[in-house]
Amino acid sequence: MDTYEYWAHEKSGEVWAVHIQDGEVVGACGPLNHRDRPADMRDFEYSQEEAAWIEDCREDFRLWEAV
């Protein structure tokens, strides 16, 4: 199952768009600013390299919800 979420890095506060497939981060795009958010999260250009970094440091991120 594919899921798309925004995650914030705990220390920096930077926000990333992440693509999750079967519980694993397989794509990431960021850091983003508030103007970088398309209506459909599938429209981001996701990077597998950034995804690997986020997956390795997953405990440093939290789900981010826009206000």
Q: Kindly tell me if the per-residue pLDDT of 67 is higher than 70.
A: no
Question: pLDDT tens across 12-21, in order?
Answer: 999 999 999 9
Per-residue model confidence (pLDDT) at position 66: 66
Residue 48: both structure tokens together: 């597998």
Instruction: Give residue limits of the domains in the chain.
Output: 2-63
CA 14 to chain centre: 10
Neighbours of 44 (CB within 10 A): 20
- In this prediction, residue 58 has a pLDDT band, given cuts at 50, 70 and 90, of very high
Question: pLDDT tens across 19-56, in order?
Answer: 999 999 999 999 998 777 788 999 999 999 999 999 99
